[in-house]
Structure 1
Amino acid sequence: MAAPQRSLQRRVWALLYTGGKDFTWGHFAVVAVIIASLVLLAVQTEPGLDPDMRRRILLLDAVIPVLFGAEFLLRVWAAGADRTFSGPGGRLAYFRQWVVVFDLLAFLPELIVLLLFPEVWATARWVRLFRLFRLLKLFAMFPAFREIGQAVRDAGRRLAATAAMAGVMLFSSAVLLYVVEADAQPDAFGSVPRALWWAVATLTTVGYGDVYPITTLGRIAAGFVAILGVGLVALPAGILASAFAERLGPRR
């Protein structure tokens, strides 16, 4: 009886494993359910939705986390077919993967609320927020997305240095505008935390225009900060482009 069970484990593992290069019909089914759950999430936020249609959507919504839970348990059981994840120690290694953590977050909070607090599940908006982890589950199934993730990991130190530089620039810009604009616009630049909103909008080149300097010195400083913002946006893009080229170049 052990041999047929082992064979079944291998077949289920090949069907559901998200780290391989082959895209199986099992993956296709999971992707379809993920997309359906996100579409249902979007549709049910419409205030003018027919009450009968809303009830049907909520019923489908209740089934989806159960399906994800069953798929997760099947995958954990089938992981024993892989030598890396066989035995108690292997299962523990399997649960330490970030993909598995995202898998749990994609359905477990919603399933817990559904089972323990069904009366609030339909109106608990914060629970729906966990569905965004299903997008990460979706990314894990496609080799192309995994290549992107690996490229980001390869460039991790350089991106971290860029993020640190961005933090220094944001804070410095906020302090600079606080010094030169606080007296003229105390509501917008009367403190460093208030000036940080302008610094974020300017350095990211969004420029909402709701807060802006009005003094001559403030405008000069803002122009300098805006020019720095162009480089701040371009720098991580260049780092990622270089990482992609390094990773994909040898395959050409």
Structure 2
Amino acid sequence: MRLKEQEKNWKDKLHEIIYEADTREGKLFDIILLIAILSSVLFVMLESVDEIQTKYGAILNIGEWILTVLFSIEYILRIVSINKPARYIFSFYGIIDFFSTIPKYLSIFFIGTHSLLALRALRLLRVFRILKLARFIGESNNFIKALKASRAKIAVFLFFVLILCVILGTIMYLIEGGDNGFTSIPRSVYWAIVTLTTVGYGDIAPQTPFGQLIASIIMILGYGIIAVPTGIVSSEMTRIHDLHLNTQSCPNCSYEGHDDDAIYCNHCGSKLHD
């Protein structure tokens, strides 16, 4: 019984250091991890420069191997420190951690796969946990909730924009014709989408006065349309109460985003800390 308690205490301490940033050790761990990730990405970028690769290729390779071993140890510790390893392994961060570590090992057998190590840049998302800006974490969660709440309205809006582009593209096809680059309705619809989104590649342009007038109206309309999704999401965000969250992670399912005074996990119901 005492052995099990010691094992549990050891796992809880390891979980607190690796998955959370509320403690001094947790902050230090995440800062070291962030530096290692930045260093690894920098090594990969430098290796792509021929002059640097020729002079310092061996040093960069050694440094990358050291970092790869560290990332491998970190990946194993993350699996060991939780009760349900599959939750981490198949989570977003778990998949990113795996695919950002394995390329260096694959480079032993396949040339060129080490360049995939640039995927480690995605792991910089953990910087939000290092900064421990609970207010911003809460706002990001509120933004996600607002997007989910407004997805139906946004879908209707996008469907309306698509219909509008089809109509405008068809009109421009009739007005300009193939001689001016509008060789088909799909190509004309492509032009309408590019113009309405104010991108304006310039590969197709109306030549007739009437076509240019319609193009001007579409461009002005594009600025108004851009503001619509922002208004939809903003209105939803005003309805969502700001939550006071911290960086604590459930030791059972690794779910994050709990209230400051939370005792049990919002996802699986397990006790967060003893």
Fold equivalence (TM over 0.5): yes
1:131 partner amino acid? R
1:219 aligns with 2:209: no
- Across the aligned residues of Structure 1 and Structure 2, the Cα RMSD in angstroms comes to 3.5
Q: Computing the radius of gyration over CA atoms, which structure comes out larger, 1 or 2?
A: 2
Q: 1:82 — aligned with what?
A: none
Native 8 Å contact 2:138 2:243 kept in 1: no
Residue identity (%): 22
1:43 equivalenced with 2:46 (yes/no): yes
Code of the residue aligned with 2:200 in structure 1: it is G
- Mapped partners of 1:129, 1:192: distance in 2: 41
Give yes or no for the alignment of 1:135 onto 2:124: yes
> Aligned residues, how many?
236
* Conservation of the 8 A alpha-carbon contact between 2:71 and 2:101: yes
Q: Which residue of 2 aligns with 1:230?
A: 223
**Superposed displacement of residue 9, structure 1:** 1.4
1-side partners of 2:35 and 2:97: how far apart? 16
Matched, 1:74 2:80: no
Confirm or deny: 8 A CA contact 1:201 1:208 kept in the other structure. yes
| Aligned CA distance change for structure 1 residues 96 and 170 (closer, same or farther; 3 Å) | same
TM-score when normalising by structure 1: 0.72
Decide which moves more: 167-176 or 7-16.
167-176
TM-score (norm 2): 0.67
**Structure with more helix by fraction:** 1
Distance 2:206 2:31 in 1: 53
Q: Is the 8 A contact 2:142 2:237 kept in 1?
A: yes
Distance in 2 (CA, whole Å) between partners of 1:187 and 1:113 is 52
Alignment of 1:165-204 (within 5 A): 165-166=157-158, 168-170=160-162, 172-173=164-165, 176-181=168-173, 184-185=177-178, 188-195=181-188, 197-204=190-197
Structure 2: state its 5+ residue gaps: 245-274
Matching residue within 64, 81, 85 for 1:61: 64
2:141 is aligned to 150
Higher mean alpha-carbon deviation, 21-30 vs 139-148, is at 139-148
Amino acid at match of 1:72: Y
Shift of 1:25: 0.5
Bigger relative contact order (CA 8 A; separation at least 6): 2
Q: Which ranges of structure 1 fall in alignment gaps of 5 or more residues?
A: 80-85
Contact 1:15–1:26 at 8 Å: present in 2 too? yes
